Chains A and B, each alone.
Chain A
Amino acid sequence: MLVPGARTGALRARALPAQPRGGIGGVFGDPPERLAVATTTTAAALPHAGAHAEPRGLAAWLTTVDHKRIGLLYGVTAFVFFLVGGVEALLIRLQLAFPDGRVVSAERFNELFTMHGTTMVFLALMPLSAAFFNYLVPLQIGARDVAFPRLNAFSYWVFLLGGLFINSGFLYGAAPHAGWFGYATLTEKPFSIGPHTDLWLVGLLLLGTSTLISGLNFLITILNLRAPGMSFLRMPMFTWTTVVTSLLIILAFPPLTVALILLLFDRFFGTSFYLPAGGGSPVLWQHLFWIFGHPEVYILILPAMGIVSEVIPTFARKPLFGYVAMVYATALIGFFGFGVWAHHMFAVGLGPIADSAFSLASMIIAVPTGIKIFNWLSTAWGGALRLRTSLCFAFGFIAMFTIGGLSGIMHASPPVDLQQTDSYFVVAHLHYVLFGGTVLGLFAGIYYWWPKMTGRMLDERLGQLHFWLMLLGMNLTFFPMHFLGLMGMPRRIYTYPAGLGWETWNLVATAGAATIGLSILVFLGNALRSAARGPAAPADPWDGRTLEWAIPSPPPAYNFATVPTVLRRDALWLTKHPDARGPGLADAAALVSGREPIHMPPPSAWPILTASAMLVLSVGALVHEVVVGLGAALTIAGVFAIALEHLPARAVPAGGHEAIHIGTTGLDHRKMAMWAFLGSECLFFGTLISTYLVYKGRSLSGPTTHEILNIPLTSFSTFDLLMSSLTMVLAVAAIQRGDTRATQRWLLATVLLGLVFLGGQVYEFNQFLGEGLGLTTNLFGSTFYVLVGFHGAHVSVGVLWLATLWHLTRRGRIGPGQAVLVDIAGLYWHFVDVVWIAIFTLIYLIQ
Chain B
Amino acid sequence: MSAQSSEHATEHPQAGPRTYLVIAAFLILLTVMEVAVFYIPALARVLIPLLIFLALAKFGLVAMFYMHLRFDHVWFSYLFVAPLVIATGLAIALLWLLHVFGSTGLRPATGG
Please report A residues at the B interface, Cβ cutoff 8 Å: 223, 228-233, 250-251, 255, 281, 283-284, 287, 291, 338-339, 342, 346-352, 354-355, 414, 418, 567, 664-667, 671-672, 675-676, 678-680, 682-683, 685-687, 689-690, 693-694, 696-698, 711, 715, 718-719, 722-723, 725-726, 728-730, 733, 736, 826-827, 830-831, 833-834, 837-838, 840-842, 845-846
A722 touches B31 (CB 8 A): yes
- Besides A664-B7, A733-B20, 8 other CB < 8 A contacts? A231-B1, A232-B3, A667-B9, A679-B82, A694-B100, A726-B24, A729-B20, A733-B17
Q: A471 vs B22: C-alpha distance in the bound complex, in angstroms?
A: 68
| Nearest A residue to B39, CB-CB | A711
A355 cross-chain contacts in B, Cβ below 8 A = 112
B111 touches A682 (CB 8 A): no
What are 25 contact pairs spanning A and B, CB under 8 A?
A231-B1, A251-B83, A281-B98, A347-B111, A350-B107, A351-B112, A354-B112, A672-B75, A672-B79, A675-B79, A678-B80, A683-B90, A686-B90, A694-B94, A694-B98, A718-B31, A722-B24, A722-B58, A725-B24, A726-B21, A728-B66, A830-B67, A833-B62, A833-B66, A834-B63
A231 touches B7 (CB 8 A): yes
B45 cross-chain contacts in A, Cβ below 8 A = none
Please report B residues at the A interface, Cβ cutoff 8 Å: 1, 3-4, 7-10, 14, 16-17, 20-21, 23-24, 27-28, 31, 34-35, 38, 47-48, 51-52, 54-55, 58-59, 62-63, 65-67, 73, 75-76, 79-80, 82-84, 86-91, 93-98, 100, 104, 106-112
B54 cross-chain contacts in A, Cβ below 8 A = 841
B75 cross-chain contacts in A, Cβ below 8 A = 223, 665, 667, 672, 675
B47 cross-chain contacts in A, Cβ below 8 A = 846
Q: A352 vs B110: C-alpha distance in the bound complex, in angstroms?
A: 10
B4 touches A230 (CB 8 A): yes
B4 touches A686 (CB 8 A): no
If A682-B84, A711-B35, A846-B47 touch, whether A229 touches B59 (CB-CB below 8 Å) is no
A287 touches B94 (CB 8 A): yes
A845 touches B62 (CB 8 A): no
Q: A423 vs B14: C-alpha distance in the bound complex, in angstroms?
A: 60
Q: A346 vs B83: C-alpha distance in the bound complex, in angstroms?
A: 26
Q: A833 vs B55: C-alpha distance in the bound complex, in angstroms?
A: 12
The smallest beta-carbon distance between A667 and chain B, in angstroms, is 5
The smallest beta-carbon distance between A690 and chain B, in angstroms, is 4
If A349-B108, A351-B107, A833-B62 touch, whether A689 touches B97 (CB-CB below 8 Å) is no
- Of A352, A686, A690, which is within 8 A of B112 by CB? A352
The smallest beta-carbon distance between A291 and chain B, in angstroms, is 6
A680 touches B83 (CB 8 A): yes
Q: A394 vs B9: C-alpha distance in the bound complex, in angstroms?
A: 39
B67 cross-chain contacts in A, Cβ below 8 A = 826-827, 830-831
- Of A347, A697, A830, which is within 8 A of B109 by CB? A347
Q: A693 vs B94: C-alpha distance in the bound complex, in angstroms?
A: 10
Pick the 7 closest A-B CB pairs, nearest first: A666-B9, A679-B83, A686-B87, A841-B55, A231-B3, A349-B109, A675-B79
Q: A676 vs B80: C-alpha distance in the bound complex, in angstroms?
A: 6
A350 cross-chain contacts in B, Cβ below 8 A = 97, 107, 112
A838 cross-chain contacts in B, Cβ below 8 A = 55, 59
- Of B10, B35, B79, B95, which is within 8 A of A715 by CB? B35
The smallest beta-carbon distance between B90 and chain A, in angstroms, is 6
Q: A342 vs B90: C-alpha distance in the bound complex, in angstroms?
A: 12
| Nearest B residue to A728, CB-CB | B66
- Of A287, A418, A666, which is within 8 A of B97 by CB? A287
B8 touches A284 (CB 8 A): no
If A667-B73, A675-B79, A698-B104 touch, whether A733 touches B112 (CB-CB below 8 Å) is no
If A718-B31, A834-B62 touch, whether A845 touches B38 (CB-CB below 8 Å) is yes
The smallest beta-carbon distance between A418 and chain B, in angstroms, is 5
A728 cross-chain contacts in B, Cβ below 8 A = 66
If A715-B35, A726-B20, A846-B48 touch, whether A664 touches B4 (CB-CB below 8 Å) is yes
The smallest beta-carbon distance between A737 and chain B, in angstroms, is 9
Most chain A beta-carbon contacts within 10 A, residue among B38, B55, B66: B66
